Amino acid sequence: MKASRIAAAGAVAGVAVLTLSAPAFAHVSVQPEGEAAKGGYAVVNFKVPNERDNASTTKLEVTFPTDHPLASVMPQPIDGWDVKVTKSKLDKPLEVHGKKIDEAVTKVTWTADDDGIEPGFFQKFPVSVGSLPENTDELVFKALQTYSDKEVVRWIEVPQEGKDEPDYPAPVLALSEASADGHSHGASDDKAHEADEDKSAGDAEKAAAETTAAADSGGTDTTARVLGIVGIVVGAAGVAYGVLAGRRRTSA
């Protein structure tokens, strides 16, 4: 009886040790730089940690959503990685800035030239995307992570609200609402910003020109004022000297 209890206790203890020693694995995720507002453009980072002790991550494949295709997808070059952008025909063309687009990026693949992401490190893969859809609150990007030992981890399970996070969740980008004035950080806003900068620069040049003209036209008057001030100072010094001299004579 005692032996059975001891064996059971040992088994429970063993399971507890394994549970406590199991690492909390990180997963491939996506986050915007700043915010990702509906209807606008954003730069998003796919963050890839290396979860292995004896292998490097040498490849990342990210599948872009086809239910909410993005007209513009531009990866940022990363030293030590080759990038390939795959486009596909759309079943339903998009209309962006008055133009119809019949194809969109459906996959971006990064392949390491050398060692890739070594154990104990992570890598960010930035991508400029837009315009972001206005009829959804999130975008799901399924990803495949390949290691140097040929192991492939499939981050493709879509998280469900009200349920526990899956073992291999797909990266999900949360979209924020557009600003109160209905503007997003898009190309049209960039142009408006550039116009404001040009106007400000023009105003500054105009003000500088007016100041220079005023200085040139009023040069003589300024000189006269300076000479007048110098005369007042010299006169005051003379008065002070006279008063001191009178006091010395009286004391004598």
Q: What is the pLDDT of residue 243?
A: 42
Q: 72-89: string of b/e by CB count within 10 Å (b at 16+)?
A: ebebeeeeebeeeeeeee
Q: Find out whether 30 and 47 touch, Cβ atoms under 8 Å.
A: yes
Q: What is the C-alpha to C-alpha distance for residues 97 and 196, in angstroms, rounded to an integer?
A: 22
Task: Note the pLDDT tens digit of each residue in 171-204.
Answer: 999 999 987 655 444 443 444 444 444 444 455 4
Please state the length of the chain.
252
Q: What is the pLDDT of residue 124?
A: 98
Q: Find out whether 46 and 30 touch, Cβ atoms under 8 Å.
A: yes
Task: Select from 26, 30, 42 the least CA-distant residue to 171.
Answer: 30
Task: Note the pLDDT tens digit of each residue in 19-77.
Answer: 333 344 589 999 999 999 999 999 999 999 999 999 999 999 999 998 899 989 999 99
What is the pTM assigned to this prediction?
A: 0.62
The label of the residue with tokens 């239910």 reads: 67
Task: Note the pLDDT tens digit of each residue in 131-168.
Answer: 999 999 999 999 999 999 999 999 999 988 888 889 99
The label of the residue with tokens 């700043």 reads: 34
Helix (H, G, I), strand (E, B) or coil at 141: coil
Measure the CA angle with vertex 161, ends 177 and 37; round to 5°. Answer: 15
SS3 string of 72-123?
EEEECCCCCEEEEEEEEEEEEEEEECCEEEEEEEEEEEEEECCCCECCCCEE
Percent with pLDDT over 90 in the chain: 50
Largest distance between two CA atoms of the chain: 125
Task: Note the pLDDT tens digit of each residue in 220-248.
Answer: 444 445 445 545 444 555 444 444 444 44
Q: Going along 156-248, which residue ranges are E strands?
A: 172-174
